[in-house]
Amino acid sequence: MSAPRDVVRAAWNAGTVVPAFNVPHLPMLEPIARAVADQDSFALIETARIEWQTFECYGPAAVDEAFARFGDPEHVQLHLDHVPVIDEEGDRVDYLPIINRALAMGYRSVMIDGSLLPLDGNIAATRQVADLAHAAGVACEAELGAIAREGAGPLPPYDELFASGAGFTQVDQAARFVAETGCDWLSVAVGNIHGAVSKAFKDRAKTQARLNLGHLAALRTATSVPLVLHGGSGVRRQDVLAAIEGGIAKINIATEVRQAFVHGLASTGTLDGAKDSVYERPTWLIREYYGIAGSRRAIFG
């Protein structure tokens, strides 16, 4: 069984991608794991702090327990997503105990998000977590740049935001960041946006994002590590496919599978119906949207 640290780099070298599916509602885990295995692909199943505070996944321990029941490690492995140093409300987070508990549980990769800190602070926090992760033999993901979140406050119109490049990961900072932190994967801002989690916005269709592929190419050259696309739901398909060729080796998908669960539950009135709806979405994404059915062969050789 290969570790995600090696798998994501192998995907990067092969010009393919590892999708990473969030499970804000715990029953989503089983159909996602089944869909990935049925498509003979490889994916990460991940849980973020904002999800166990906002939805019904109940935290890393509950996700780990469900994974032990339903996860096939040859096709899916666990990733701890978005543990912030400063959270969405602007509050400091005691992030090290969260990271350490996940490592003790056996999470195979972890993400520290210091993107709301000044550059030096982000470097220091990421270096600290990278050292912990590497001592445990797992990968550390970090984030640099300001990826906007829908529904988190007033934002300029998307076209204006994209044209200005506001919040994009700066190339010179990215080179320094990777060199000084030792992070394995870097989440970058190149036009992508996070989906909404607030009650008022969480069920709305996401703004269709596009990606600045020239900026992405410069980041790949500057960093020489696998890059990560957060806010993967709703990005223009042609941009996603070009981004995979251009260095994106991991794509986070939350809104599409979460809304599939919610709409399936509403339309059928049953948990089984919701799970069927969830199963269909990653199946379609892997087979049709990303075209990576059977990708385990490309990744594992």
84-143 pLDDT per residue, tens: 999 988 899 999 999 999 999 999 999 999 999 999 999 999 999 999 999 999 999 999
The encoded tokens of residue 199 equal 């009650």
Catalytic, out of 81, 113, 184, 239: 81
Residue 200: pLDDT band by 50, 70, 90 thresholds? Answer: very low
pLDDT digits (tens, 9 = 90+) for 164-189: 888 899 999 999 999 999 999 999 99
The encoded tokens of residue 152 equal 């988190």
What pLDDT does residue 201 have? 46
Single pTM value for the model: 0.92
φ, ψ dihedrals at 220, nearest 5°: -60, -45
Q: How far apart are CA 102 and CA 77, in angstroms?
A: 13
What percentage of the chain has pLDDT greater than the value 90? 77
| Residue whose token pair is 């509950």 | 62
φ, ψ dihedrals at 85, nearest 5°: -85, -40
Beta-ladder partners of 78: 45
Beta-ladder partners of 84: 113
Mean pLDDT over 271-293 rounds to 97
131 is catalytic: no
| Of 58 and 117, the one with more pLDDT | 117
Torsion of CA 90, 133, 59, 1, to 10 degrees: 140
3-state class (DSSP) for residue 188: strand
What pLDDT does residue 198 have? 43
| Segment (H or E) for 70 | helix 60-70
Domains of the chain: 4-294 (3.20.20.70)
CA distances from 70 to 55, 148, 237, 267 (A): 20, 33, 30, 25
